[in-house]
Structure formats: structure tokens, C-alpha cells
């Protein structure tokens, strides 16, 4: 039986921010939070939002944070943007598939952009209850890698996990109540996963968003810097 989405750990009238709000999972997060009675405001950022935020445009990340600063702090920030495949490339199956352009594009979207999100948006976290989650992937776990392949995607998510862990250590000094985590969404029926899982395999985005929000609702500062599945299970590095 699925438990209700209470979000009781967040104050009544909490503010939320979703980065990557135009994607399948990002849209689902925005819709779930806007429908929740405890959430007073949801801001969604993407390449065409106002303010705009584009992972390929370093300046836009800081400018978006600056534009939102006057509106107050956020109790929940979710980074849901990322790339697995794109025009002209699919995940590498072997070493012979590696090329500089794909490695760079994947790391830019999944690691470098999120690193700057940490830099610019951590200061916008509420000091009493502030949770910042960046969507990672179980295939970014080095300890869980049994199949190989998907070189740049795996590496980009493993590097993201290290950034989150390192940032959590620093942020705990200034924001002792903050929670920064990497979060694995599982298989979700979106444009990112459909080439590999088919159109009817994987959970619907709204189900995945609800699963992950339940996990975020339960997390405490003692778990900051962790890597978690949508089930709430800690994942190996």
C-alpha cells in the first residue's frame, strides 16, 4: 500500500524550486508540489523560463539564483535536469565508442552544470528546513557497476555524487539543518529512458515524483551527503 504524500517535515506554506522543470520528471515534481496543500509556491526553472536557466550557459545559473534571491529562501530545491543521449549520440557500449564531444556534453549537463547549481542555490536554502536534491542514477554507483558500458553517463553521475558529498560537508558548517543528497529516480517513462526501456516500461513520472518526495520528506540532516534510491534505500558509492 502506498503511503500518503504528507510532506509534514516541511512547514505549512513552504516554498519549492524545481530546476529542469520542462522535463518529464521536472514537470511531475512541479505538478505534485503545486497540488499539495502544504506548499505555498513552486518556481520552475528551465531554458525558456523567466528567469531562464541553461546548463550550457554558466552565467544563466548565477543570474537565475540572483533573480530569485529577493523572493526569500526555499525549503525544497530539486535539480531534475540531465542528459543520457542526444542528437548524434547514444550511451557508449565499449571503449572504442568514446569520443571527446560526447564525454564533454554529458559531463557538462550532468556534472558541471549541477556543480554550479550547488554553488549558486545553496545560499537560497532555508536555515530551519532546507532540502536540496540532485537527481543522480544508480548506474553512477561504482560499487554497483556489474555490467560496464555507458561510460560518460556513469562517470558524470559518479562525479555528481562526489560533488554532493563534498558540498554537504561544507554546507553543514553554515547550514547545520540542511540536507543535500543525490537521488536515484529509478526507471521512469520519459524521453530520457524510452529508447532503452520502450514506451510502456517504467513508472509514470507522477508516480516517480511522489515516490521521491516521500523520501525527501523523511530525510534528516544526519543523512546529508548521502546517495538514496526512490525507495529510500541508501545506495553504495
Mean pLDDT of 228-236: 97
Domain residue ranges of the chain, discontinuous segments joined by +: 14-229
Question: Who has greater pLDDT, 87 or 95?
Answer: 95
Per residue in 37-92, pLDDT tens?
999 999 999 999 999 999 999 999 999 999 999 999 999 999 999 988 777 889 99
Per residue in 156-188, pLDDT tens?
999 999 999 999 999 999 999 999 999 999 988
Instruction: Report the alpha-carbon distance of residue 126 to residue 128 in Å, rounded.
Output: 6
Is 60 exceeded by the pLDDT of residue 198? Answer: no
pLDDT bracket for residue 233 (50, 70, 90)? very high
Look over the chain and give the mean of its residue pLDDT values, rounded to a whole number: 93
DSSP conformation class of 90: -
Tell me the β-bridge partners of 62: none
| Core vs surface per residue 27-53: b (16+ CB within 10 A) or e | bbbbbbbeebebbeebbbbbeeeeeeb
Instruction: Report the alpha-carbon distance of residue 145 to residue 83 in Å, rounded.
Output: 19
DSSP conformation class of 23: S
- Choose among 196, 185, 173: nearest CA to 229: 185
The CATH superfamily label for domain 14-229 reads NAD(P)-binding Rossmann-like Domain (3.40.50.720)
Instruction: Report the alpha-carbon distance of residue 167 to residue 174 in Å, rounded.
Output: 11
Cβ-count burial of 149 within 10 angstroms (0-12 exposed, 13-18 middle, 19+ buried)?
middle
Per residue in 6-38, pLDDT tens?
999 999 999 999 999 999 999 999 999 999 999
The Cα-based distances of 176 to 127, 136, 201 in angstroms read 8, 23, 40
pLDDT of res. 190? 63
Q: HSE-up of 207 (CA within 13 Å, CB side)?
A: 10
Amino acid at each position: 500500500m502506498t503511503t500518503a504524500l504528507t510532506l509534514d517535515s516541511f512547514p505549512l506554506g513552504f516554498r519549492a524550486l524545481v530546476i529542469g522543470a520542462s522535463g518529464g520528471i521536472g514537470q511531475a515534481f512541479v505538478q505534485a508540489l503545486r497540488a499539495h496543500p502544504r506548499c505555498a509556491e513552486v518556481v520552475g526553472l528551465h531554458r525558456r523560463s523567466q528567469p531562464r536557466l541553461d546548463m550550457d550557459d554558466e552565467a544563466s545559473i548565477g543570474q537565475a539564483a540572483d533573480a530569485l534571491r529577493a523572493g526569500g529562501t526555499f525549503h525544497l530545491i530539486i535539480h531534475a535536469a540531465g542528459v543520457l543521449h542526444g542528437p548524434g549520440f547514444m550511451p557508449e557500449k565499449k571503449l572504442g565508442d568514446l569520443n571527446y564531444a560526447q564525454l564533454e556534453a554529458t559531463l557538462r549537463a550532468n556534472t558541471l552544470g549541477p556543480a554550479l547549481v550547488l554553488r549558486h542555490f545553496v545560499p537560497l536554502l532555508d536555515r530551519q528546513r532546507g532540502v536540496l536534491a540532485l537527481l543522480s542514477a544508480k548506474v553512477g554507483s561504482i560499487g554497483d557497476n556489474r555490467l560496464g558500458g555507458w561510460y560518460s553517463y556513469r562517470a558524470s553521475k559518479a562525479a555528481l555524487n562526489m560533488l554532493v558529498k563534498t558540498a554537504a560537508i561544507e554546507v553543514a558548517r553554515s547550514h547545520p539543518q540542511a540536507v543535500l543528497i543525490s537521488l536515484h529516480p529509478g526507471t521512469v517513462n520519459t524521453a530520457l529512458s524510452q529508447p532503452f526501456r520502450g514506451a510502456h516500461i517504467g513508472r509514470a513520472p507522477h508516480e516517480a515524483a511522489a515516490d521521491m518526495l516521500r523520501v525527501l520528506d523523511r530525510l534528516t540532516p544526519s543523512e546529508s551527503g548521502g546517495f538514496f534510491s526512490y525507495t529510500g534505500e541508501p545506495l553504495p558509492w
